[in-house]
Amino acid sequence: MPRVETIKGLERGIKVLQILQSEQISSLQDLHIATSYSKPSLLRILNTLTGTGMVTRRLADGHYRLSALTDVVRRRDRYDRVAEAAAPVLIRLCEKVKWPSDLYVPAGNYLERRETSRPNSPFVLRSVGRPGSIGTRIGWLMTGHGRAYLASCPAKEREAILRRLRKSKHPQDRLAHDPKSLDKVLSEVRQRGYATRDPSFTGGTYDGPAWFDDGLAAIAVALADRTRAYGSINILWIKTAFSVGQMADKHLADLQEAAREIVTSLRSPADHMSMR
């Protein structure tokens, strides 16, 4: 029986997939070190895998990961799928409004940044730590992201989050002990159609500098449908450029449309059928 040769390009592609499966997310340099393949060869492999939907590239830092539609990633972290769905939408939103957006998702007592279009914006915004870094943590009650999510998520989930925050001594969680004031805040978010940070809060991460004046303003909306919430997205800008009202008048509809597009892409086929 004649010897059948293997396809070297396919072997290289499979090796890259195996590394991404074990490492979860890798830079081009990481893959170069792990495989010893040249970077031009790796880029061809990665572009092919990205084109087939097996691999995705993160906006924030250009790192690669397995598509969140694969079983191994879905078991690992359900919010990877949200970040993957949000990425192309946030790029288009940034191209339209110029100012960048962040995606945050729940992570226990805080929210965690999972994607951002800051590298795609012509505007450089001040921030704590590395600009646009993935994994940045913010609080629930003082931020637009947290307020947008809490105003839109199911009541049972909201109460579970607040129950945890009532046990916290973190200064950003104090509002959890004042349910009347918090209810008023969330009612105003629902009425306006967007959330903003608390007027007394000028910035800062949940586990870093508590109050850091970043000079920014933002409007945020939840990624939510009738039964669940997935996260929240915003538009950020330098606060001396526009008032909140001016930005909302100009771009709230764009932000809301982006949120609807992301949520629609996240619905399962069963969800689509139930809406007919």
Q: What is the pLDDT along the chain (276 residues), one digit of tens a residue?
A: 566 666 888 888 888 888 888 777 888 999 889 888 988 988 999 889 888 888 888 888 888 888 765 544 444 467 888 999 999 999 999 999 999 999 999 999 999 999 999 999 999 887 655 555 888 999 999 999 999 999 999 999 999 999 999 999 999 999 999 999 999 999 999 999 999 999 998 888 888 755 578 899 999 999 999 899 999 999 999 999 999 999 999 999 999 999 999 999 998 544 433 333
> Same structural domain for residues 140 and 166?
yes
Tell me which residue has tokens 């097996």: 54
Copy the structure tokens of residue 272. 């689509």
Is there a contact between 24 and 76 (Cβ–Cβ < 8 Å)? yes
| DSSP-based three-state secondary structure for 72 | helix
Q: Which residues contact 7 (CB under 8 A, 6 or more apart)?
A: none
59 in a domain, yes or no?
Answer: yes
Residue that finishes a domain, picked among 43, 66, 89: 66
Question: 50: domain CATH number?
Answer: 1.10.10.10
**Residue range(s) defining the domain that contains residue 92:** 77-268
Copy the structure tokens of residue 138. 């913010």
Looking at the whole model, is its pTM more than 0.85?
no
Residue that finishes a domain, picked among 66, 92, 116: 66
> Same structural domain for residues 39 and 157?
no
Partners of 236 in beta bridges: 218
Cα dihedral: 258, 259, 262, 265 (round 10): -110
Name the DSSP class of 195.
B
